[in-house]
Structure 1
Amino acid sequence: MPFRDSAFIVITLTLSFLLPRQACGETNPAVAAGGAHALALAADGSVWAWGFNDQGQLGDGTLQYSTAPILVQGLPEIKAVSAGYTSSMALGHDGSVWTWGSNLSGELGDGTTTSRHRPIKIQGLDNVDAVTLNASTAMAIKNDGTLWLWGQNSHRTMGSSGGATLTPQPLSSISDVAGVGIGLSSIFAYTHDCALWAWGGNSFGQLGDGSYSPQPTPIRINITACLSQISASNHTLAISSTGELWAWGYNHDGQLGAGSTNNTPTPTLLTLQGNNFIAVACDHHSLALKRDGTLLSWGKNDYGQLGDGTTSNRPTPLPVEGMSSVTSIAAGAMFTLAVKADGSVWAWGINTYGQLGDGSTENQSVPTQVTGFEGISTLNLKRPATGLNQSTQEIPPVSFSTLPPAGSAPLTVSFQRTVKSGPPPVSIHWDFGDGEVANSHNPLHIYTSPGTYIVTLTVTYKEGIFREAMRQILIKPSKEQEPRPQTNSSR
């Protein structure tokens, strides 16, 4: 999701997430959700990723999925994150843009269609204030209000003929851009003078122009509101500067929140009590965040992504129980992410590849806390002024890899600590999750029994300062350990 400003908070006891003040009403980009992976932005500007990794979208240099957060290395201090279906994007405080993951449609913006398993900087794209990525299309807003696009163009979302666009290109027909949104085949941009522009695919009326015809170039949408945020899938959600919620487009599963399942090709104001919304997010389900921290959900719910304990679709918005004081939201493909004011991260919905980050692959129909953040940093960190000594500020987060990431028992696993610049540690401690520990830098460990184990690495520095990282490893039964089917014999 786009973002244009930030502030900093203190991390105390847990790795809290950035809670920036709102600029132009845009939502806090502390979390982002893709097709089956997730990104989170910590208050120290580091980025964490978990879930599916078939295209390198976790940015750790491997293709192994992770059911718990891992650090994305090689990035500068980041202020915003965004996720495509199998790709990822981060915006640096210096205005640089970084991408990694799938690049089949040029969505990484490096002039190629080669996927990248680690972050790369997009050359020639500087002074960027906001970024957004959805499916395989990417956009950036520069600090001069110009709009830049690249990636998939099958629905003429670049405002021109089809074909992929491999490097960022300016869209000269719209200026003074305040915010943007990308749907599965549509693009939206709203300007500081309260104009809303849309183009691309329109099979479900998602552009909001009253028709179901595609538009290869931007057209102005008639909406009686000055927008502060927009989110799109095959349907579109938008928030006005006065906190009103608008919806239009695809509605087969009730994702427009109007109590029906009819598609609507024009912006429709939802008459919800309060109308004090500050953020929206959508996939085939819809999310809306109120100023008081209440989170509403509605629409498709086949994997429990509405968080109501069921898997039944619902055409009317209702609060998600237990989710008060919410500050940031994201909607992935059949799963949901939310951040609370205390910095905790919560997820629910489909979990086939660990995209809920709870250390398992079990679906969840109610909010479940993302694991792996507690204890990663017990320091009181604040940027840019910290009050800590220089050596403390230079201590980076830690991470590690496992080789192989899974296998059958007995399995010998090599653990490799990832080393960033910083002072030498006083001690290194590994907990392999099966009752065994080690204190060497890069140990080998043999798992003799099948199961799912959470491995914890603790690196301690001077003055008792430490960093922790956690990963899950799956040990499957050997053929000899697998239960044999019982047969009934008759004489």
Structure 2
Amino acid sequence: MSRKVVQIAAGEAHTLALAGDGSVLSWGRGTFGRLGTGKEHDEHSPVRVYFPDASSPEKTSDPSVHSGNSDSSRPLCVGIAAGAYHSLALQDDGSVWSWGYNTYGQLGHSEVENVSLPCLVEHFQQLKSTGVKVCSVKAGAMSSFAIDNLGGLWTWGNCPQPSNDEDEGFCFLSYPSPMPVVDFYGRSVVKVACGNEHVVALVTAGEVHTGGGDDLLCYSWGNNNHGQLGLGDTISRSKPEIINVFNQECPWSVFDISCGAFHTALLTHRKSGGGQHAHCMCWTFGLGENGQLGHGTTANECLPRAVKGLPEDAVLVSLDCGLFHTSVVSSAGDVWSWGMEKGLGLCPDASFTGDDAGDALSPIRMHCAEGVKQVACGAAHTLVVADDGHKLWAWGRGRSGVLGHGKTTDSFMPFPVLWPRPDEDFKENNMDAQNEKTKPSNQEAGKLANTSEEIEFLRSKLTLMERYASLLHVSIFRKQLDDRNLPQSLRGSGVFDIGKELETILESADDDELARMQMFYRNMLASVKDKLLKRRVQEMVKESLKSLSAGSHSYTRP
């Protein structure tokens, strides 16, 4: 289970992954301690985050308590969340942990500024005696949220509140301790999402959630300067207000929500009993200047509007928003993205010329590994979970190692994350081998160490070759290399007929895929021509300088 990812979360420039054994891993930018490693160093591939015993008096001060304990009796993590510069984790006993940036109190602590190791949010520990237990956590840019087992919503950090100024009517206040959102008393909050300064929540129409999804209503509050609340205007709200487009009379019911910096995306299904995900649609509203709404324009929308560029028969199961881009996943494992900046963070096939910013104004289908089930979007990077949780792929801006493939370079196409980490893999194997046997002799221990080092070296080489093969395959055929779909020529004879395989792909490609391949090779050929021309010019300049230099030496004064 340590090799299987069950949840992912992306912050501004860091990424979190929750494994099936309850362990949490992080990578990317380490500033403010957002990775939870005790340092502010960047990590270019996944590293383990260690949690102390909640009952330990040293739980927030002694780094040695965090450094390597692995007591199986301790609570396991069951949820994670990533804000812009901070992180949250939830354990199965209801304990909430936080680390990273804390200027607005988003860690739930008032005494500290920033924290580089997981610290317990004490407020929820005190509530356990009353029967209240946190069951999910979520993070906004500078705020944090939790939903308890009674359906209550808690918030802390930078929170929207009524203003004392009658002309304003709305402001943000910093709360370092969780406080309940009293507007939903008597009902149950099922999901919550938060952008830079706005919040969206799914709440039951009655006291309890029936589980079918048709009883959920969508509320929004906070900053609304771009229409991101979906209420038909740009007036900010300090209190939750229902998005009336999806009221109880509406044939569509919202079952998933996500917020970008200044836009919102929703997934809906019809209420006609066709199953939760039957007849799905994606709706967006708010800021549209980078195409993050997917409507084919850069216009803002103050009311929810359906995204038309998605296949009508797509059964959507996962949704997430980055700062200025949006991604969705279907039950078939297909991924679509749209939004900001020439593909960085979202769409490798978005390529434009002239004055166009390069934004994808409509959904573009990604070419990821098969079996994608989850997606997470950061400020300028995207991550998906594939192969039943055993593979991670990332693309976008690679600064600080946020893509998790060991480098800091940008990637315009999905690239495999180093998962599982080779060193962790060998460490576990060595521990298992030692536990099964009695203490080995010095000679046996030496052999074991040498063997482990050799295996680690070979595994590292294999990982490197897999990455190289994947990149090469994508460059030639414009699709990911999947070992479950290896070409028949390679399976049968061990010889890969590239020409034949390319011909097969061209025959089966649709018009859009052929157009993308044509654009890719045209751009690549233009780059090669430009490079050759630049080198030729440089050679000509060098020759001219040599000639001038030779002429000046032979010149004599009359």
Q: Structure 1 length as normaliser, TM-score?
A: 0.71
- In 1, the alpha carbon distance for the partners of 2:243 and 2:47 equals 41
1:122 and 1:231, CA in 2 relative to 1: closer, same or farther beyond 3 A? same
1:237 pairs with 260, 265, 272, which one? Answer: 265
**Hey, which of these two has a bigger chunk of strand by percent?**
1
Contact 1:326 1:341 survives alignment (8 Å): yes
1:313-352, aligned counterparts within 5 Å? 313-342=359-388, 343-352=390-399
Identity of aligned residues (%): 30
| RMSD, aligned CA | 3.2
**Which residue pairs with 2:177 in the alignment?**
167
Verify the 8 A CA contact 1:155 1:186 in the aligned structure 2. no
SS in 2 for 1:338: strand
Q: Residue 291 of structure 1: which of 321, 331, 336 is its match?
A: 331
Counterpart Cα distance in 1 of 2:142 and 2:299: 28
| Pair 1:425–1:173, CA change in 2 (3 A) | farther
CA contact (8 A) 1:303 1:334 kept: no
Q: Residues 382-401 of structure 1: matches in 2 within 5 Å?
A: none
Distance 1:185 1:350, change over 3 A: same
Distance 1:155 1:354 in 2: 37
Q: Which of 202, 207, 214 is matched with 2:224 structurally? A: 202
Distance across 2 between alignment mates of 1:49 and 1:349: 17
Q: Specify the code of the residue in structure 1 equivalent to 2:156.
A: W
Distance 1:36 1:184 in 2: 15
1:278 aligns with 2:317: yes
| Structure 1 partner of 2:17 | 40
Change (3 A) 1:310 1:146: same
Structure 2 distance, partners of 1:188, 1:31, is 20
Per-residue CA deviations over 1:127-171 (Å, capped at 9, x if unaligned) read 1111100211111000100000000136769x9753201010001
The residue number in structure 1 matching 2:272 is: none
Q: 1:103, 1:112 within 8 Å by CA — same for their partners in 2?
A: no
Distance in 2, Cα, partners of 1:129 & 1:368: 33
Gaps of 5+ in 2: 53-74, 164-168, 206-215, 269-275, 352-357, 437-444, 458-541, 554-558
Amino acid in the other structure paired with 2:377: A
Q: What does residue 364 of structure 1 align with? A: 411
Report which stretch shifted further, 109-118 or 308-317. 308-317
Task: Work out which of the residue numbers 64, 86, 89 in structure 1 matches 2:41.
Answer: 64
The alpha carbon displacement at 1:322 in A equals: 2.8
Residue of structure 2 equivalent to 1:472? none
Mapping 1:99-178, distance limit 5 Å: 99-125=98-124, 126=128, 127-153=133-159, 161-174=171-184, 175-178=187-190
- How many angstroms apart in 1 are the aligned matches of 2:170 and 2:120? 26
Q: Deviations over 1:375-427 (max 9, x none)?
A: 4348999xxxxxx99x68xxxxxxxxxxxxxxxxxxxxxxxxxxxxxxx9996
| Corresponding residue for residue 17 of structure 1 | 5
- Which amino acid in structure 1 is aligned with residue 299 of structure 2? N
Which range moved further: 370-379 or 72-81? 370-379
Return the letter of the residue paired with 1:211.
D
Partner amino acid, structure 2, of 1:286: T
Q: Distance in 2 between matches of 1:374 and 1:309?
A: 29
Residue pair 1:47, 1:78 contacting (<8 A) in 2 also: yes
User: Normalising to structure 2: TM-score of the pair?
Assistant: 0.63
Q: State whether residues 78 and 93 of structure 1, in contact with CA within 8 Å, keep that contact through their aligned partners in structure 2.
A: yes
Q: How does 1:446-461 map to 2 (within 5 A)?
A: none
Amino acid at match of 1:45: G
Measure, in 2, the Cα distance between the counterparts of 1:49 and 1:380.
19
- Alpha-carbon distance in 2 for matches of 1:425, 1:211: 71
SS in 1 for 2:32: coil
Q: Indicate conservation of the 8 Å contact 1:37/1:51, yes or no.
A: yes
Q: Comparing 112-121 with 328-337, which one deviates more in the overlay?
A: 112-121
Aligned to 2:439: none
Instruction: Write the letter of the residue equivalent to 1:353.
Output: S
Normalized per residue, the structure richer in helix is: 2
SS in 2 for 1:336: strand
CA distance in 2, matches of 1:254, 1:292: 25
Conserved 8 A contact 1:155-1:201 = no
Measured at CA, do residues 86 and 427 of structure 1 come closer, stay the same or move farther in structure 2, by a change above 3 Å?
farther
Aligned counterparts of 2:111 and 2:32: Cα–Cα separation in 1: 15
CA contact (8 A) 1:257 1:299 kept: yes
Contact 2:101 2:115 in 1 (8 A): yes
Q: Select the residue among 282, 291, 301 that pairs with 1:254.
A: 291
Q: Distance in 2 between matches of 1:47 and 1:196?
A: 31
Instruction: After TM superposition, give the deviation of residue 255 of structure 1 in Å.
Output: 1.1
Contact 1:236/1:247 (8 A) holds in 2: yes
Question: CA 1:257–1:162 in structure 2 vs 1: closer, same or farther (change >3 Å)?
Answer: closer
SS in 2 for 1:217: strand
Amino acid at match of 2:287: Y
- Secondary structure, aligned partner of 2:5: coil
2:342·2:360 contact (CA, 8 Å) conserved in 1? Answer: no
User: What letter is aligned with 1:93?
Assistant: D
Residues 113 and 166 of structure 1 are in contact (CA less than 8 Å); yes or no, is this contact kept in structure 2? no
Q: CA deviation at 1:324?
A: 2.5
Q: Which residue of 2 aligns with 1:407?
A: none
2:44 counterpart SS class: strand
8 Å CA contact 1:304–1:310 kept in 2: the answer is: no
Q: Distance in 2 between matches of 1:161 and 1:260?
A: 31
Counterpart contact for 1:303–1:350, Cα < 8 Å = no
CA spacing shift, 1:378–1:295, aligned 2, 3 Å: farther
CA 1:226–1:379: 2 relative to 1, 3 Å = farther
State yes or no: 1:221 paired with 2:243.
yes
Pair 251,161 (structure 1): closer, same or farther in 2 beyond 3 Å: closer
Distance 1:324 1:163, change over 3 A: same
CA separation of 1:115 and 1:379: change in aligned 2, threshold 3 A: closer
**1:359–1:371 CA contact under 8 A, matched in 2:** yes
Q: Please name the residue that 1:354 is paired with.
A: 401
Contact 2:161–2:239 (CA<8 Å) still a contact in 1? no
For 1:345 and 1:428, locate their aligned partners in 2 and report how far apart those are by CA, in whole Å. 30
Q: State how 1:46-57 maps to structure 2 within 5 Å.
A: 46-57=23-34
Q: Greater Rg, structure 1 or structure 2?
A: 2
TM-aligned CA deviation for residue 246 of structure 1: 1.2
Deviates more, 1:183-192 or 1:306-315: 306-315
For residues 371 and 28 of structure 2, the distance between their equivalents in structure 1, rounded to whole angstroms, comes to 25
Per the alignment, do residues 99 and 238 of structure 1 end up closer, same or farther by CA in structure 2, a change over 3 Å counting?
A: same
